[in-house]
Structure 1
């Protein structure tokens, strides 16, 4: 009987894990993004191809939005297309529905591409400080990439600090808002986390938050804790970069509301 106890405990643990995994699969918290790079001479033809693809999606009644973002800084001949947050299972349905327009994309847009990358991003509300009306269709979006050092220690340190910053922002009613996403299955050079900060215009984007982030954390926890958190965060990061995107209504696909 004693020998059965470890087996029973393992079985229960596996069942609980499976149940938790199923619950995660049902959450509408997964975003897919494609980033296209085009040659300057092909920009006009490429945009026409995107519009043809969107028209095809509309004709086939696709109900899945794709938000278009034009890169304003960094490589300014790049475009990103971002899905609304959905469950993992929804991407199976989306693939089936949108398959009818694959050929349109291949003939109208692909010839003008220099390259394309794709990434999945799982929303992390526990790391974020979002307003109720925060969307990816804000006029401007500051995008920050974080690639962490190897090992679980760096990941744990980064997420621990991000959680405490988010808690401090909530505690102090910080006026700045942002969303974190955890990147999954996106290639060797992909970042581990993405930080999105919406802005109404360039003046809004360029204005520093009041108070600045680390002063806000200091106000919440005290200077020694804020300094310790800042060091822990910096020590976990291998590299980071940022650029600014603008929302393009012309290239966005929004399903018709019936």
Structure 2
């Protein structure tokens, strides 16, 4: 199938952050995310509470967008909310701007939560393959979570390897795409990296890409180098998991709408 997870399949059988970097020269690059867990019986009330909270934000002129995602596989009673890429200073301003609706969230959403987690991610352009002008869209998203083995060498090896894989995809104009993000200050259970691979629908999700990912890498670097990159990637990983999310327009907040 089309999914980038196909190039991860070889690990199936067989974020230790080293410091926060400044935003890239191409602009704000930090994303904040929240994930909420609700009980099945509370799902309708929870969604109504989020809509009430979003209505409060709009009434107070809140200018920061939050994209809502439903979990389609795995725990389907999980919801994620992802900010636009921003600067670190923007999150200070966001916090102040949102205070007017804190009471709305506590009253309308908190009673229906089983739990909530939050963290930050930094977009890693050199580790991603996103053709110029391409976006992640508003369909389905395969979300792959990478936890690395401990140590600086594993962290560096993973980064260097994925950069070479992304460079091969860029050079060959490979039709697949993915966005890699490094996880920052997100708790002991958080992965080290998150990769997002978009699809417009389930049919697109299941479509094979020609050439396959590793065939493309072999075409660019040769078979021996492609195999070496596979081994390097495998050696750096402690755990990999994935799930699918779906864009939720009804719970998404966009300023002025």
> What is the TM-score normalised by the length of structure 1?
0.89
Give CA-to-partner distance per residue, 1:22-79, whole Å, 9 cap, x none: 6769940000000000000000000000000000000000110000000000100000
Secondary structure of 2:194's match? Answer: strand
Match of 1:88 in 2: 88
Measured in 2, the distance between the counterparts of 1:104 and 1:97 equals 14
Q: Distance in 2 between matches of 1:50 and 1:105?
A: 7
- What is the alpha-carbon distance in structure 2 between the residues aligned to residue 117 and residue 190 of structure 1? 10
Partner of 1:35: 35
| Map of 2:235 onto structure 1 | 235
**Paired position in structure 2 for 1:76:** 76
Larger Rg: 1
String of CA shifts for 1:216-239, please: whole Å, max 9, x gaps.
110000000000000000000000
Deviations 1:87-124 (A, max 9, x none): 11100000000111111000000000000011100000
Correspondence for 2:12: none
Gap regions ≥5 residues in structure 2: 1-19
In the TM superposition, residue 133 of structure 1 has moved relative to its aligned partner by 4.2
Q: Does 1:62 align with 2:62?
A: yes
Aligned to 1:4: none
Counterparts in 2 of 1:35 and 1:24: CA distance versus 1, 3 Å: same
Asked whether the equivalents of residues 131 and 170 of structure 2 are also in contact (C-alpha less than 8 Å), the reply is no
More RCO (CA 8 Å, sep 6+): 2
Residues of 2 paired with 1:50 and 1:22: CA distance? 32
**C-alpha distance 21-172 of structure 1, shift in aligned 2 (>3 A):** closer
Return the offset for 1:210: 1.6
RMSD of equivalent CA atoms: 1.7
On the 8 A contact 1:25/1:88 being kept in 2, the answer is: no
* TM-score, normalised with respect to structure 2: 0.89
Query: Higher helix proportion, which one?
Result: 1
Structure 1 unaligned segments of length 5 or more: list them.
1-19
After superposition, the C-alpha distances for 1:131-182 in whole angstroms (9 at most, x for unaligned) are 3444344211110000000001111110011000010001111000110000
- Checking the alignment, whether the CA contact within 8 Å between 1:214 and 1:226 is kept in structure 2 is yes
Q: State the alpha-carbon separation in 2 of the partners of residues 135 and 170 from structure 1.
A: 15
Quickly say closer, same or farther: Cα 1:203–1:26, change in 2 above 3 A.
closer
Distance 2:105 2:184 in 1: 25
- Compared with structure 1, are the counterparts of its residues 115 and 49 closer, same or farther at alpha carbon in structure 2 (3 Å cutoff)? same
CA contact 2:70–2:246 (8 Å) conserved in 1: yes
CA contact under 8 A between 2:23 and 2:87: conserved in structure 1?
A: no
Q: Do residues 157 (structure 1) and 157 (structure 2) align?
A: yes
SS at match of 2:92: helix
Equivalent position of 2:255 in the other structure: 255
Alignment of structure 1 residues 122-141 onto 2, 5 Å: 122-141=122-141
How far, CA to CA, are the matches of 2:26 and 2:174 in structure 1?
Answer: 31
Residue 100 of structure 1: aligned partner: 100
